[in-house]
């Protein structure tokens, strides 16, 4: 919003103006005209800074404490080292890589590729709302889905927030509003596996000549509803001596061990069927640090390799419609709700908050609200 300089302000008023795309203050005192250049571009945040300074000057004029040299009113602001947009995002990615999953880092690198090609050596300080909107349009023109566009813009918003907190750039985030405007259409929830399909899949793995060594792993996924990475990272020390309970507080993805997705641990009681399976699987002198489930070569299970080779091939062979291995988790939650389990208890077992459970996983028939018969 630009303030017109033509309208004369009342006596004793300090006006906030825009001059050459920068904010300045203008006022008169003792028949002399004064200007104070703020040195910041016009934005909602910077206007608050300017208005606060304007109130200080107006107050000093009213009380006879005005400093005509203007030294008292000079605004000290950070001088930022120039950096390009791709370099800033690359630094942000390196920082986030310490705490996020390798999958997330891969998404950041994809965004970096778009920034490199579109902005080149453009400086981070050159980005304003208009240029942010142009980049959002560019992403849409590249046939990215609304979800992909929004994710990349949200990453840029997070990058700028991080850089502002580190005093690397000026305190304005041009990505906030443009990220808000991208609307992601609702996505149909995955269809849970039926009880018959679950039984067929488990049996399909047990009788498969190539992938039978994954049968216990698949049974554990269906039986606990845990995340795939949580089952991959399970160690014998996480199970009680008689395998009646399991502690889930770690996850493995791309061979990297970390905390669970929500950074919260949970201990759950296992069914007798799962307990028997685990006791049969447990070595006589099991090393507490050893993994419970391994690949055929005795290594850490690679979730992509498991899905692309074992999971897809077994489901195809037994004639069951493909759904991601993660649907084992959705299936347990859906059947638990169908059986009338308290959603709070289901959330505790699976490591969700109740709202997330309802929004993302309660796709089963019996847990939905039913229309009345009229």
Quote the percentage of the chain above a pLDDT of 70.
90
β strands within the chain, DSSP E? 15-19, 22-29, 32-41, 245-248, 250-253, 256-259, 266-269
Which residue has tokens 């201990």? 267
**Hey, which residues does 18 pair with through a beta bridge?**
23
Q: What is the pLDDT of residues 292-306, one digit of tens each?
A: 999 988 899 999 999
Query: Which helix (H) or strand (E) covers residue 303, if one does?
Result: helix 303-305
**pLDDT score for 3:** 43
What pLDDT, in 10s, does the model give residues 217-255? 999 999 999 999 999 999 999 999 999 999 998 888 877
CB-based contact 224:329 (threshold 8 Å): no
What are phi and psi for residue 85, nearest 5 degrees?
Answer: -60, -50
Closest CA to 114 of 143, 82, 94: 143
Overall fold of domain 85-181: DNA polymerase; domain 1 (1.10.150)
Q: Please, which pLDDT band fits residue 153 given cuts at 50, 70 and 90?
A: very high
Name the strand (E) or helix (H) holding 8.
none
- 119-135 pLDDT tens trace: 998 888 888 889 999 99
Instruction: Find out whether 13 and 58 touch, Cβ atoms under 8 Å.
Output: yes
Token pair, residue 2, equals: 């630009």
**Mean per-residue pLDDT over the chain, rounded:** 86
Q: What is the mean pLDDT of residues 250-262?
A: 78
Band (143; pLDDT cuts 50, 70, 90): confident
**What integer pLDDT is reported at residue 8 of this predicted model?**
55
- How much is the pLDDT for 9? 55
In 3-state terms, what secondary structure has residue 343? Answer: helix
> Where does the pLDDT of residue 361 fall: very low under 50, low under 70, confident under 90, or very high at 90 and above?
low
pLDDT band at 69 (very low <50, low <70, confident <90, very high): confident
Q: Which CATH number fits domain 195-361: 1.10.443.10, 3.40.50.720, 1.10.40.60, 3.40.50.150?
A: 1.10.443.10
The residues spanned by each domain of the chain are: 15-73, 85-181, 195-361
pLDDT, tens digit (0-9, with 9 covering 90-100), for 320-335: 999 999 999 989 988 8
Q: 245 is written with which tokens?
A: 């309970």
Q: What is the pLDDT of residue 357?
A: 75
Instruction: Give the pLDDT mean for 164-178.
Output: 85
């Amino acid at each position: 919003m630009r303030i017109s300089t033509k309208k004369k302000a009342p006596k004793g008023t300090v006006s906030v103006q825009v001059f050459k795309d920068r904010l300045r203050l203008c006022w008169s005192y003792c028949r002399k005209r004064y200007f104070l250049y703020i040195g910041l571009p016009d934005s909602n945040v910077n206007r608050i800074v300017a208005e606060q300074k304007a109130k200080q000057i107006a107050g000093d004029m009213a009380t006879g404490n005005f400093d005509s040299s203007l030294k008292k009113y000079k605004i000290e602001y950070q001088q930022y080292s120039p950096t390009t947009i791709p370099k800033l995002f690359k630094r942000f990615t390196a920082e986030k890589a310490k705490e996020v999953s390798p999958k997330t880092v891969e998404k950041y690198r994809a965004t970096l590729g778009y920034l490199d090609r579109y902005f080149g050596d453009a400086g981070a300080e050159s980005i304003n709302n208009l240029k942010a909107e142009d980049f959002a349009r560019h992403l849409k023109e590249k046939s990215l889905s609304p979800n992909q566009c929004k994710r990349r813009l949200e990453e840029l918003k997070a990058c700028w927030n991080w850089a502002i907190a580190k005093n690397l750039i000026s305190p304005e985030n041009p990505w906030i509003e443009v990220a808000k405007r991208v609307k992601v259409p609702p996505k149909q929830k995955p269809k849970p596996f039926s009880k018959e399909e679950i039984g067929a899949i488990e049996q399909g793995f047990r009788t498969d000549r190539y992938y039978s060594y994954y049968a216990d792993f698949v049974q554990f996924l269906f039986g606990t509803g845990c995340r795939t990475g949580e089952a991959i990272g399970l160690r014998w020390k996480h199970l009680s001596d008689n395998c009646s309970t399991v502690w889930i507080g770690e996850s493995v993805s791309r061979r990297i061990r970390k905390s669970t997705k929500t950074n919260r641990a949970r201990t759950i009681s296992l069914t007798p069927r799962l307990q028997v399976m685990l006791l049969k699987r447990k070595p006589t002198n099991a090393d507490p640090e050893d993994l419970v489930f391994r690949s055929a070569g005795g290594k850490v299970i690679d979730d992509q390799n498991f899905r692309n080779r074992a999971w897809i091939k077994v489901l195809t062979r037994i004639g069951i419609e493909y759904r991601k291995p993660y649907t084992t988790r959705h299936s347990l939650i859906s059947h638990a709700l169908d059986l009338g389990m308290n959603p709070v208890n289901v959330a505790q077992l699976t490591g969700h908050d109740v709202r997330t459970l309802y929004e993302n996983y309660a796709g089963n028939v019996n847990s939905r609200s039913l229309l009345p018969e009229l």
